[in-house]
Chains A and B, each alone.
Chain A
Amino acid sequence: MSDPEESKPDTTSPGEPEESPRPATGEGEAKAEAPIEASAGEGAAAEPVETPETAEEEAAQKAAAAAAAKAKAEAAAQAKAAAEAAKPPWERDPRVPEWQEAGDDPLAAAVAAQHGDGLLAARTFAGDLALDLAPGALREVAADLKHSHGYTLLVDICGAHYPDREEGDFEVVYHLYCFEQNRRVRLRVRTDEHGEVPSVVSVWEGANWPEREAWDMFGIRFADHPDLTRILMWEGFNGHPLRKEFPVEGVDTGAAIYPEYYEEEAGPVAGTGTGWKPTPPPEPEPSEPAPADEPQEAGSADPAP
């Protein structure tokens, strides 16, 4: 987008809409022709079946027809590519970015040299370097990036939940920025529900709130965090809303604000799927819990307005 040459064709752009359909229709014809040719060749080959000695000729003809069709298709593809290149960038087909190995990137190489096993992978996507780190190495790598490589600005920390993964279904993502090189880098650390990620508050004080948010929203624990409490939800809320299994319509608010209904830690738990109904409060006399009455009881016992 920032390429200055791209902005030059502005003046010609009003004429382009007329031009652009032409190569498109040309391609269409070429594509449409190719199968017809092939079938015609087959038809021609089917006629002289009576003379068996021409079988080789037939095969040769067939091969020639196929080669011609192939050449034509190639030419069409080339013409298409040429037509595509002649178009201004915003009329070309979008080029979807892909992951690329970035082991030879100087920063990745430096981290690999210094931290060895701590660096699990270094890849780029859409031009941004992403380093996959082992949780144990995170704080050292972060401090190293800050103090030796100039990544002084912690842009953001966020969590993500990948329940389909076999192990490490939570991920913490750190976005860093370096002023000198004007470059971003992304650190990714995997953990699971019971694992811990070292807090980087000792490296960047600003990591405090986003780490609290990751704990609040995903239940990711950060070791040595000075104040790992909920930040967007209230203290006593049950569940972690951005987990994939958390129902979008929300859950009842749990033990802390309805102590008369729920015992401590006994309130509704997130992740029981959509269409969730609050569990009935514990009966003072649990003599005969009739299962048919449960939904009704739940409805009447629900203290929410």
Chain B
Amino acid sequence: MTESIETPTPDGETLFGLEEMELNFGPQHPATHGVLRLKLKVDGERIIGCYPIIGYLHRGTEKLFELSPFFQNIPHTDRMDYVAAATNNLAYVGAVEKLLGLVVPPRARYIRTILSELQRLSSHLLWLATHAIDIGAMTPFFYTFRERELILDLFEEYCGARLTLNCMRPGGQPYDLPVGWTDRCRELVDLFPAAIEEYGGLLTENRIWKKRTIGVGVLTAEKALAYGVTGPMLRGSGIQWDLRKAMPYEAYDEVDFDVPVFHNCDTYDRYLVRMEEMRQSTRILDQCLKQLPEGPIMGKRPRVLKAPKDSEVYHGIEGPKGEIGFYIVGDGKQQPYRCRVRPPSFYNLQVLPDMVEGLLLADLVAVIGTTDIVLGEIDR
């Protein structure tokens, strides 16, 4: 047998086909972070085409929004990006407040800022854990979940839920902080910088980590803008833009923090962006806890929330994954006439085919991890 396996037989076929192969990645694959399905076209180990198929988790949330009064829609928002419920709540109630002209008292604004920064930390911790575990580093998972548990405990103490928080209302906050909550939050904030260094110590200078992430999944600034990519992915592509700075909401204009930006546009830089964001989040939390004002937690609002006739607003905030926004149309009823969610993961996932083309199959999981998608939000 001197013939190579690649030598075509007289029929024109090879023993092992050399043609391009179509490969289904997901929807039930642990590295897809949910029910994402990718139709891949591979040439050996190399990806030459990628076509994401979404919708497996579609629950018609936008339709459900049209049924219930403004209050009752808040739990729906919990279930979109289910690892970042507080920021979803905040974007939604912010849009409702803009629609109705409600003003939030300072203490409520600070509580909201604290909750959303805690949520950003918890979301980034989950991202780091799963991203590292996808690439093959098991240990960070245990470390990050150790701290994430403390954050979820704080949430539980505040509103009774750990993930689906339902912790904000149009016009203010439903509950004041429990006694001693700020002390426990302070403890967490104090231990956090060391914890971040601990995760960084495991990964940042790790040779395997660097080899698996540097230069992988390059997303140029032009591409990122063309695709509407926002959040840490945009900042990892060299564009320093953060809605917390650009259009400050809640108490973000009263605290001091930096917006990290890195210019190499690859998976490693997006990792660095999110690590730095966690540090900045602890800074924000620290200042919020120091400056937390006393006072009422609920502003004046009508007993029944009715949207003005023929009204529409868009309100977007900086979620952990990018800009999460709500476009609400009102028609004088207690329910929104139309409520559109602008999910950050939807736009961030859309650019995936461009990022993975030409990469090896094993790098695909690294790139999916770095986009930090949540399918609950993409499919709604």
The chain A residues found within 8 Å of chain B, CB to CB, are 1-2, 4, 6-7, 10-11, 13-14, 17, 88-99, 125-126, 128, 130, 152-156, 158, 160-161, 173, 175, 179, 182, 184, 186, 204-206, 208-210, 217, 230-234, 241-242, 246, 248, 250
Q: Collect the chain A residues with CB atoms within 8 Å of residue B250's CB.
A: 1
Given contacts A125-B312, A155-B342, A232-B58, contact A92 B296 (CB under 8 A): no
Could you say which of A1, A125, A130, A205 contacts B249, with CB atoms under 8 Å apart?
A: A1
Q: Which of B2-10, B204-212, B321-329 contacts A (4 or more CB under 8 A)?
A: B321-329
Question: Which residue on A lies nearest to B351, using beta carbons?
Answer: A206
Q: Choose from A91, A126, A155, A241 the contact partner of B60 (Cβ within 8 Å).
A: A241
Are A233's CB and B55's CB within 8 A? yes
Chain A residue at minimum C-beta to C-beta distance from B245:
A182
Q: Does B98 contact A (CB under 8 A)?
A: yes
> Which B residues lie within 8 Å of A96 (CB)?
100-101, 308
B295 pairs with A158, CB closer than 8 A = no
What 11 additional pairs, Cβ within 8 angstroms, besides A6-B106, A90-B104? Answer: A13-B294, A91-B300, A94-B101, A99-B310, A126-B98, A130-B312, A153-B230, A155-B342, A186-B314, A208-B350, A231-B54
Report the nearest B residue to A99, measured CB to CB.
B310
Q: Is B379 an interface residue (CB 8 A)?
A: yes
Q: Which of B101, B106, B229, B314 contacts A184 (CB 8 A)?
A: B314
**Are the C-beta atoms of B228 and A173 separated by less than 8 Å?**
no
Asked whether any CB of chain A lies closer than 8 Å to the CB of B238, the reply is: no
Given the complex, which residues of A lie within 8 Å of B379, measured CB to CB? 232
B196 proximal to A (CB < 8 A): no
**Does residue B299 face the partner (Cβ distance < 8 Å to A)?**
yes
Do residues A204 and B226 form an inter-chain contact, with CB atoms below 8 A?
yes
Task: Provide the bound-state CA to CA distance between A204 and B351, in Å.
Answer: 12
Complexed CA–CA distance, A235 and B380 (Å): 18
Residue of B nearest to A88 (CB): B105
Complex alpha-carbon distance, A156 and B308, angstroms: 23
Q: Does B74 contact A (CB under 8 A)?
A: no
Are the C-beta atoms of A90 and B325 separated by less than 8 Å?
A: no
Asked if A232 and B55 sit within 8 Å, CB to CB, the answer is: yes
CA distance A45 to B310 in the complex (A): 48
Q: Are A10 and B294 in contact (CB under 8 A)?
A: yes
Q: Are A248 and B67 in contact (CB under 8 A)?
A: yes
Of B246, B254, B314, B329, most buried by chain A (CB within 10 Å of CB) is B314
Asked if B359 is at the interface (CB within 8 A of a chain A CB), the reply is: no
Are B247 and A155 interface neighbours, CB within 8 A?
no
Q: Which A residues touch B314, using CB under 8 A?
A: 128, 155-156, 175, 184, 186
Query: Does the CB pair B246–A182 fall under 8 Å?
Result: yes
Do the beta carbons of A206 and B227 come within 8 Å of each other?
yes
Closest A residue to B306 by CB, please name it: A96
Assess the B311–A97 pair: CB atoms within 8 A.
Answer: yes
Interface size on B, residues (CB 8 A): 63
When chains A and B are docked, how far (Å) is the Cα of A232 from the Cα of B312? 25
Contact B100 A94 (CB under 8 A): yes
CB contacts under 8 Å to A, within B241-291, are 241, 246-250, 253-254
Q: How far is the CA of A204 from the CA of B119 in the complex (A)?
A: 31
Residues of the B chain whose Cβ atoms lie less than 8 Å from the Cβ of A154: 228
- Asked whether A97 lies within 8 Å of B98 as measured between CB atoms, the reply is yes
Separation in Å of the B167 CB from the closest CB of chain A?
19
Given A13-B105, A88-B105, A182-B246: A160 and B329 within 8 A (CB)?
yes
A89 to B299 CA separation, bound complex (whole angstroms) = 8
The chain A residue sitting closest to B102, CB to CB, is A94
Say if the beta carbon of B158 comes within 8 Å of chain A. Answer: no
21 A-B residue contacts at CB 8 Å? A1-B109, A7-B293, A10-B107, A10-B295, A14-B294, A90-B299, A91-B296, A96-B100, A96-B308, A97-B308, A153-B225, A155-B316, A155-B325, A158-B327, A160-B329, A160-B340, A182-B246, A205-B223, A208-B350, A232-B55, A234-B55
Q: How far is the CA of A70 from the CA of B300 in the complex (A)?
A: 29
| Shortest 9 CB-CB contacts between residues of A and residues of B | A90-B299, A13-B295, A206-B228, A10-B293, A206-B227, A158-B340, A232-B55, A156-B342, A94-B101
- A contact residues around B98 at 8 Å (CB): 97, 126
CA distance A89 to B171 in the complex (A): 12
Contact between A204 and B296, CB atoms less than 8 A apart: no
With a CB–CB cut-off of 8 A, which chain B residues contact A250? 60
Contacts of A205 in B (CB 8 A): 223, 226-227
A161 contact set on B, CB distance < 8 A: 338
Q: Which of B62, B63, B64, B327 contacts A156 (CB 8 A)?
A: B327
Please name the residue on chain B nearest to A152 by beta carbon: B225
- Give every chain B residue within 8 A of A17 (Cβ-Cβ): 296
Q: Closest A-chain residue to B222, C-beta based?
A: A152
- Which chain B residues in 84-130 approach chain A with CB under 8 Å? 98-107, 109
| Contact across chains for A94 and B55 when beta carbons are under 8 A apart | no
